[in-house]
Amino acid sequence: MITLALSKGRIFDETLPLLAAAGIVVTEDPEKSRKLILSTNQPQVRVVLVRATDVPTYVQYGGADLGVAGKDSLIEHGGQGLFRPLDLQIAKCRVSVAVRAGFDYQDAVTQGSRLKVATKYTSIARDFFASKGVHVDMIKLYGSMELAPLTGLADAIVDLVSTGNTLKANNLVEVEQIMDISSHLVVNQAALKLKQAPLKRIIDAFASALARG
């Protein structure tokens, strides 16, 4: 049995064509089912639905043989025990710094004052501000990041940005881009040895689909 870990949403939707290239079709719609384990047209392949941030952990510890995870999740996880054969170039977005409109971000980071930063991407944020020599107090949040600057909880947020519409709707401004994000195929290193042939077929099919564009 080959187990693939995916998260609902863009990653799931944009992985489906790659799976189809490998001859794998998920036979259940995750939006219409409460199931967390989905069957496919291949009896020996199944999909497990987990939180995006948990995909690397499931693959690392063998709860799944392979998975698709955003670069952001991989950095926060640390990437231990994972083989990363492919950047799938899907679910593209960016990690950026945003502040409330009217906040003088440039002044705040150049004056050497401590910046209060709310984010769930603490490793990415800490490394970024350290590289700029900016002292930060990190506030870990798991959702509704846009509220933090509006309520005075934080001066800035570090979050994923796709279109920027959510920021604009909440009177926030994107002031600095930290990195581009796309999703990667990750494989459990032990599974790569024990299930080499079936996993290689999937990896090669994904690679061929990417090469065709």
Whether the CB-CB separation of 132 and 176 falls below 8 Å is answered with no
Query: What digits encode the pLDDT tens for the residues 51-83?
Result: 999 999 999 999 999 999 999 999 999 988 899
Spatial distance between the Cα atoms of 47 and 103, rounded to a whole number of angstroms: 45
Whether the CB-CB separation of 145 and 159 falls below 8 Å is answered with yes
Confidence of residue 110 (pLDDT cuts 50, 70, 90): confident
Spatial distance between the Cα atoms of 198 and 177, rounded to a whole number of angstroms: 39
| pLDDT more than 70, % of the chain | 100
Confidence of residue 112 (pLDDT cuts 50, 70, 90): confident
Confidence of residue 33 (pLDDT cuts 50, 70, 90): confident
Kindly tell me if the per-residue pLDDT of 113 is higher than 90: no
Spatial distance between the Cα atoms of 178 and 76, rounded to a whole number of angstroms: 14
Find the helix or strand (DSSP H, E) in which 129 lies.
Answer: helix 122-131
Query: What digits encode the pLDDT tens for the residues 139-167?
Result: 999 999 999 999 999 999 999 999 999 99
Find all residues with CB under 8 Å of 45, minimum gap 6, and list them: 1, 2, 4, 24
